[in-house]
Amino acid sequence: MKILVTGGAGFIGSAVVRQAIRDGHSVVNVDALTYAACLENVASVVDAQGYTFEQVDIRNRVALDTVFARHAPDAVMHLAAESHVDRSIDGPGDFIETNITGTYNMLEAARSYWVGQGKPDSFRFHHISTDEVFGSLPADESVQFTEDTAYDPRSPYSASKAASDHLVRAWSETYGLPVVMTNCSNNYGPYHFPEKLVPVVILNALAGKPLPIYGDGSNVRDWLYVEDHADALLTVLEKGTVGRSYNIGGENELSNLELVKMLCAILDELRPHQNGSYADLITFVADRPGHDARYAIDPSRIRNELGWRPSLTVHEGLRKTVQWYLDNETWWRPLQARAGVGQRLGQDADKAVKGTGS
């Protein structure tokens, strides 16, 4: 199968590209190479047979039409998006343009190509989204997001992703475009751009800097190892029912404070701190606006219909992640110099502290 992957130089997108190549697919990697993209993420497959890179912005419809005509993909996996919540609070415009208008352009380019090919039944448009579109859950652990949960976005980021989800459903219902959709929980793992909670904690700890946690650290997330996510996404592409959505979770709920303490314990073991535990560096900072209290995925549909489950526990995945950052300083060190990386955005810019971005 030839798969057109948008955002394939980003965190999750590059994991999909690497997994797809390992699975024997051809890949057309379409990425604008904005601030969070890094071609080093796909360096391991750049010489692989069937891999092609196109530097194209999904806001450019003409360029997208050219890519479809040139490569004639069998499927699209649409991951390109602005994804950092703090940045969406600080500057929502880019999120509207990329996540909404960009998705519209992708849908129209894909539809035009699909119609031109005679509307093949085998074509797929896989839209990859987030559980943040569902809003916030109560503390009751029996309550989880399902595919039927009503949308209730709370940040410019989640609102823009909710809008893109609705566009994809509309193009399926109105034009018959064969789509599948997924909404995932918080990802972590190798090649995670150093502005989100897990990499910020690891890299701040190694530098002896404060480990910032919003509020009291009680916000709960479900954590999904990125390579497990990539495997799930390809499973949905190949086996998912057209028009259906699938929630993808790691089955690993932790509060932010629990997660940071777990990271500190792993670092204490793998790279002992000279002056006690890394947990001594934990610092609580003012909460960000619209910070959802809890996310939790009910993964029953993908488990029961497609037979997929995550392969790693959160402790196993975090240990692999910490070890990867310890072994790959040449990857993350240059990225720390990019504008705004590691800074808390979206509130009190004049009093910015190093932030989590999760």
Amino acid identity at 316: E
| Owner of token pair 């499973």 | 235
* Three-class SS state of 5: strand
Query: CA angle, 121 as apex, 116 and 126 as ends, to 5°?
Result: 90
Tokens linked to 306: 């497609």
Q: In the numeric block, which tokens belong to residue 342?
A: 């590691």
CA distance 64 to 28: 12
In 3-state terms, what secondary structure has residue 169? helix
Determine the Cα–Cα distance for residues 2 and 12; give it in Å rounded to an integer. Answer: 19
Q: Which two tokens stand for residue 25?
A: 């697919």
The one catalytic residue in 31, 57, 131, 292 is 131
Element (H, E) at 228: helix 226-239
Cβ 190 vs Cβ 255: under 8 Å? no
Q: Are 297 and 232 in contact (CB under 8 A)?
A: no
Asked if 168 and 107 count as a contact pair (C-beta separation under 8 A), the reply is yes
Cα 217 to chain center, whole Å?
22
Nearest to 216 by CA among 284, 289, 292, 138: 284
What one-letter code names the amino acid at 139?
A
DSSP assigned state of 339: T
| Distance (Å, whole) CA 76 – CA 2 | 9
The tokens of 47 are what? 């010489």
Among 157, 214, 225, 278, which one carries the catalytic annotation? Answer: 157
Catalytic residue among 132, 165, 195, 222: 132
132 in active site: yes
Positions marked active-site? 131-132, 157
